[in-house]
Structure 1
Amino acid sequence: MTTYSAVRTTGIYCRPGCGAKPLAENVSTFELPAAAEAAGYRACLRCRPYRVAGTVADEAPELVCRAVQLIIAGLLDQSGEEALGTRLGVSARHLRRMFHDHLGVTPDQFARSRRAHFARRLLDDTDLGIAEIAFASGFGSLRQFNRAIQEIFRASPRELRDRRRRGDRLVADGGLVLRLPFTPPYDWEATAAFLAAHAIPGVESVEDGVYRRTISLDGEPGVLELGAGGDDYLLLRAHLPFWEGVMHVVDRAACLAGLDCEPIRARAHLSADPDLGPLVAARPGVRVPGAWGPFEVAVQAVVRDQLPTDDATEALQKLVQVYGVPVAGLGHGLTHAFPGPEALTGAELVGPLAREVADGNIVLEADLEGLVRSLETVTSTRAAQEIALRLGARDAWPLAGESERLRPWRSLAAVYRLTSVS
């Protein structure tokens, strides 16, 4: 977990490795940039902490992690903390207390900091205009954007753009290229292999270490390409119909790659296991891949649970061809955007799942126990556990065999098992 150091005498916070050498008695530490900013500190111009992964450690309670996932998905862009608490079944007051105790900020402060940091990266890395960056980062107005950037970085967006360094700008011959930062170790090879094994033909592909997929934004098609970048970041190339809200596209891509949470405690716990320990030592950067779309992952798991691997792959391809939205001219085997639940209510194999999701009887953002319990009405426990794993549950177990000793980190343990087999 990255720990940020804030210096009381200068009002500046830094990431580890910064050349500044303040006196220890003047330093306070924070686990998130948002917490340092909420305490009145501004980001260091030398080490630029907004360019590193500001992830939530896996020691945070699952309720907080689920709330963070909803914030990443953009829930607070159009509503407030009351709506977030309602979605999670708790009061806004309780949620704020949980965030303050474990992250040092309120949900609103966390969301605001994420928007500002993402905007700062766009100012550095891209040639998007100031107004485009404001709306791409989830701000509701240019005035709100300018105020937040001035408060957090003590400079206007135009001044920050003028300060960017020569090597920051990412030149692309098509699409928008962005860095997805992570804290090492991170094993992209293992993640790409997992995504390849679970890819839905026509919607996803993995070729030469690059993951590609179709997406739909307000009914308009887009394509994402994700691959290795540098020692502490992946590279995402996004071909999108518009830039508004692109922050949430980027955040969802990071979740898909398993970059949204550092498995510090999970890795330490599994390292002590006699069977898994050698796997963790050999590949310490393995993480739990997430999902682009919850319903898409659920359909994939339900089909693969009912059919042998080759038959399931063929069935998924046919399902996409019949019910998906065609997208022409993409190459790399990409042909369709994945259909929504309403389109699949009459489909063979997945109709019951689609109807329950469409009717609101299955909520794919529920906690592990509630999610598995509702999914077991339409599929097997194994498939339900696989879906929960991909949707961020930390203790899902879609494999056979005894696993009690691996609690509460069975999701990462399962990914180690699956990637070691592949």
Structure 2
Amino acid sequence: MTTEDSRYEAVRSRDARFDGVFFFGVSSTGIYCRPSCPAITPKRANVSFYATAAAAQGAGFRACRRCRPDAVPGSADWNARADVVGRAVRLIGDGIVDREGVAGLATRLGYSARQVQRQLNAELGAGPIALARAQRGHTARVLLQTTSMQAAEIAFAAGFASVRQFNETIREIYAATPTELRAARPGRTSRTPGPRGDHGTATGVPLRLAYRGPYDSRQVFDHLAARTVAGVEEVTGARGSRTYRRTLRLPHGSGVAEVAERPGRGGWLDCRLHLGDLRDLTTATQRVRRLFDLDADPYAVAERLGADPLLAGSVALHPGLRAPGTADPEEYALRAVIGDAAVSCAVAAAYGTPLDAPSGGLTRLFPRAADLAEAALTEVGTSVRPVLRGVAVALASGALRVDPGADRDEAERMLLALPGVALRTASAIRMRALGDPDVLLPPATPPSPHWRPWRTYATHHLWAAPPDDPH
């Protein structure tokens, strides 16, 4: 989609492959849409294109009520890119601007606020404040249409500084008041309690987490089920109708996420979030999206890897295969160093933070790096103990960063400089904690140069090969 003419062809064909990759505004109606919008295709002269929903909103367009462009998957570019723009987008998605402002975002990126603003505007057509504002608007719409919270509660839960700012933003983005938007909720017959009644025991906030293309949910749930840490994660139900549940450590408190397998039903995964503080809704949503790799571009992956004779069979057999990430990068880094799932369970039981109220089999949060830095760690073997302590100290001190905005190359160099950290462990952390789509775990089949930039997916295809496959 390098030219406006090719983008317009995608709009004419209502090509859902490009939902979230770009947006288009229609000057004759004043609305912006996703490429697959079912409305009558507008005239080419009336169409303009935008890299983000925030850019379309900044140009004065309001969101289409038919295709809901604010609910599309994110562009896979932001997962693949390791530059400052990709890192900034991931951090903004995690809610950094709402919590720390543009200055905090710039500090984490190692740039000045002016440089960050300039680069984002140049590439995305919107700066960090506009991008965060668009995200707040989407969060507010979800809360309006899925909960019975008062408008003032929603305003602050979504990250707005005032009710007035909330009202103005909703009107500008959706051309409706909060009351009108709530009345237009799609197919809702009931709404969930507000924050005072939702501390992990009530019905939570229901979400539909969109993805593009096919989605191999069985592979993802198999991968997660084989690696659960008791008390922190669980998978319930029979294969084909499973639910993955896990605890979340969030900026304002804790939470529990539930995601249903839903095989054979395209477009989204059903998710329910139980949050101690609804200000964490945006952050929790983005972390679940990263865990389930929902912003991937399976078409680009299949096109590249399917052309390789070694992987073609798996690509055909597993359409929509994903590369699960993590809901907590620090947690995954510690678990990768431990290596053994049973030992991770013991570490979680000994040093994890108990939930205020257990939820099914979920009883605790995985311990923080700071919890393990000075712990006895008698549950860990003597050879792994100093390695785990070293990584925990580096994470706790901030010398090692694995958050969504971390520099992947620098994080890997730091990991390999720590005594005892193996290349495979560092690569696994880069793959899942840092969400790099271009990692091949060693030792592995000699990679083809044509697998780039999707070597992480190539790794998962190699793992998915049947037992009698010589590769």
How far does residue 93 in structure 1 lie from its aligned partner after superposition? 3.7
How far does residue 132 in structure 1 lie from its aligned partner after superposition? 2.6
For residues 27-73 of structure 1, give each alpha carbon's deviation from its aligned partner in whole angstroms, at most 9, with x where no partner exists: 12334322211222111223322233243536963222221221122
Matches within 5 A, 1:14-413: 14-15=33-34, 16-57=36-77, 61-63=81-83, 64-167=85-188, 174-208=203-237, 209-217=242-250, 220-228=253-261, 230-262=265-297, 264-304=299-339, 312-327=340-355, 330=358, 332-345=360-373, 346=375, 347=377, 348=380, 349=385, 350-365=388-403, 366-376=406-416, 377-378=418-419, 379-390=421-432, 391-401=434-444, 402-405=446-449, 406-413=451-458
CA distance in 2, matches of 1:226, 1:93: 39
CA distance in 2, matches of 1:280, 1:134: 44
**More displaced 10-residue stretch of structure 1: 74-83 or 372-381:** 74-83
How far does residue 240 in structure 1 lie from its aligned partner after superposition? 2.1
Kept in 2: contact 1:183–1:232 (CA 8 A): yes
Q: Which amino acid aligns with 1:362?
A: L
CA distance in 1, matches of 2:26, 2:317: 38
Kept in 2: contact 1:116–1:148 (CA 8 A): yes
Q: Which amino acid aligns with 1:152?
A: I
Kept in 2: contact 1:18–1:47 (CA 8 A): yes
Q: What secondary structure does 1:335 align onto?
A: strand
Kept in 2: contact 1:125–1:168 (CA 8 A): no
**More displaced 10-residue stretch of structure 1: 167-176 or 197-206:** 167-176
* 1:410–1:11 CA distance, 2 compared to 1 (3 A): same
CA distance in 1, matches of 2:145, 2:400: 42
How far does residue 353 in structure 1 lie from its aligned partner after superposition? 1.2
Q: What secondary structure does 2:437 align onto?
A: coil
Kept in 2: contact 1:60–1:102 (CA 8 A): no
* 1:234–1:221 CA distance, 2 compared to 1 (3 A): same
Q: Which amino acid aligns with 1:288?
A: A
Q: What secondary structure does 1:179 align onto?
A: strand
How far does residue 195 in structure 1 lie from its aligned partner after superposition? 1.6
Q: What secondary structure does 2:279 align onto?
A: coil
How far does residue 244 in structure 1 lie from its aligned partner after superposition? 2.4
CA distance in 1, matches of 2:356, 2:160: 32
* 1:80–1:370 CA distance, 2 compared to 1 (3 A): same
Kept in 2: contact 1:194–1:419 (CA 8 A): no
Q: Which TM-score applies when normalising by structure 1?
A: 0.89
How far does residue 338 in structure 1 lie from its aligned partner after superposition? 0.8
How far does residue 13 in structure 1 lie from its aligned partner after superposition? 1.4
* 1:171–1:84 CA distance, 2 compared to 1 (3 A): closer
Q: Which amino acid aligns with 1:176?
A: V
Kept in 1: contact 2:76–2:297 (CA 8 A): yes
CA RMSD across the alignment = 2.6
Q: Which amino acid aligns with 1:274?
A: P
Q: Which amino acid aligns with 2:454?
A: W
Q: Which amino acid aligns with 1:79?
A: E
**More displaced 10-residue stretch of structure 1: 323-332 or 126-135:** 323-332
Kept in 2: contact 1:58–1:265 (CA 8 A): no
**More displaced 10-residue stretch of structure 1: 338-347 or 102-111:** 102-111
CA distance in 1, matches of 2:146, 2:427: 39
Aligned residue pairs total 415
Q: Which amino acid aligns with 1:343?
A: D
**More displaced 10-residue stretch of structure 1: 375-384 or 273-282:** 273-282
Q: Which amino acid aligns with 1:124?
A: Q
CA distance in 2, matches of 1:175, 1:165: 18
**More displaced 10-residue stretch of structure 1: 209-218 or 55-64:** 55-64
For residues 54-100 of structure 1, give each alpha carbon's deviation from its aligned partner in whole angstroms, at most 9, with x where no partner exists: 43536963222221221122110133334323312233344334333
CA distance in 2, matches of 1:236, 1:288: 19
Q: Which amino acid aligns with 2:430?
A: A
CA distance in 2, matches of 1:122, 1:419: 39
Q: Which TM-score applies when normalising by structure 2?
A: 0.81
How far does residue 168 in structure 1 lie from its aligned partner after superposition? 7.5
How far does residue 239 in structure 1 lie from its aligned partner after superposition? 2.1
* 1:317–1:30 CA distance, 2 compared to 1 (3 A): same
* 1:219–1:14 CA distance, 2 compared to 1 (3 A): closer
How far does residue 328 in structure 1 lie from its aligned partner after superposition? 7.2
How far does residue 412 in structure 1 lie from its aligned partner after superposition? 2.0
